Amino acid sequence: MDDDTMAGAGELPGPGSVTWERFAAAPGVFLAGTGLLLQVAHPVVGAGVLDHSEFKEKPWVRAWRTHLSTIRFVYGMGQGAHAEGRRLLELHKGIKGVDSEGRRYHALDPEAYAWVHLTLAKYMVDTAAWFGEPFTDAELERMWREFRAVGLALGIKPQHLAPGWKAAQSHFDEMVNSTLEANRSTEDVLAALTHPKKPWPLLPDPLWKVVAVPSGRLVRMTTVGTLPPVLRERLGLPWTDRDQRRLERFARTVRAVYRRAPEPLRLAPLAYGVVLRARKRARANTGSPRSVRAA
């Protein structure tokens, strides 16, 4: 994961790309917990988060920084994917140690680093499948070409990125079946999602509970329900037919609302700001604005 790899990255996604249209879809908030669980269930990622992250103490700060990072490398905010890749590589150099099972780990382990990237692509695909318009086969392959270029810019070696989406999906399934595990970090993530801490200390407890209790139940439902069943069982998370019906009803409601939502509400605000600026530049050059489609 050196500078030569990052410099050799292919064309990054931009205006009109599948990735720009789909990645920051607003309903993705309901699957953010799923993506995080998939990441920390990897032994290397889970150990690194447990020993070196402030997630448990400051979950909102950690979530905001992660969001900023993804907007930088997906939408080119700030200095873009290559600069963010160098920053992330430097940041993760010192994240290493020995986990509770006596296994040595390093955050820049190639398999683990590539796994996190793959979960972000899967998050995009699953958000569309549950809450928007599912990807076509052609869109899946286009998306993965774009996201593969992002991965190369972040410093992931080509051999750790599947050549196409079908291979990437097969690798995802293999990792879920053979590598992911229940650990302290998966417990911490589930606890944080179910019982979210106050984002501001001065927020009155009674007021926060009015928001936190129902939102915690909702996010736990969308998180647990959208996990691969084999991982859900491995984590000891009960899931009934009634739970499944509730999730499907909720998903139908979100899809109906989202498809009718005005364009500014379809993407996360930071991403939409980048899209608007890119569209303005495109109009100045060609006079042909682009629109953000529903994911």
pLDDT tens digits, one per residue of 188-224 = 999 999 999 998 989 999 999 999 999 999 999 999 9
The reported pLDDT for the residue numbered 9 is: 46
User: What does the pLDDT read at residue 160?
Assistant: 97
Record the pTM: 0.90
Q: Of 64, 30, 51, which is closest to residue 100 (Cα–Cα)?
A: 51
pLDDT band per the 50, 70, 90 thresholds, residue 7: very low
Strand partners, 104: 98
Yes or no: say if 123 and 55 are a contact pair by the CB < 8 Å rule. Answer: no
Q: Is the pLDDT of residue 294 over 50?
A: no
Cα–Cα distance, 85 to 48 (Å, whole number): 18
> Is the separation of the CB atoms in 190 and 234 below 8 Å?
no
Provide, rounded to the nearest whole percent, the portion of the chain with pLDDT above 70: 94
Closest CA to 190 of 64, 98, 55, 69: 55
pLDDT interval class at 285 (50, 70, 90) = confident
Residues 38, 45 contacting (CB under 8 angstroms): no
Examine the pLDDT at 177 and tell me if it is beyond 60: yes
Q: Given this model, what pLDDT does residue 79 score?
A: 82
Condensed to tens digits (0 to 9), the pLDDT of residues 45-68 reads: 999 999 999 888 888 899 999 999
| 141 CB neighbour count, 10 Å cutoff | 16
Residue 2 confidence (pLDDT) above 70? no
Q: What is the C-alpha to C-alpha distance for residues 39 and 50, in angstroms, rounded to an integer?
A: 12
The predicted structure's pLDDT at residue 102: 95
pLDDT-derived band at 245 (thresholds 50, 70, 90) equals very high
Please report which confidence band the pLDDT of residue 4 belongs to, taking 50, 70 and 90 as the band edges: very low
Average of pLDDT values for 88-92? Answer: 94
Phi then psi dihedrals of residue 25, to 5 deg: -55, 135
Average pLDDT in the chain:
91
pLDDT on residue 288 = 52
- The type of residue at 13 is P
- Average pLDDT for 92-99: 95
SS3 of 236, please?
coil
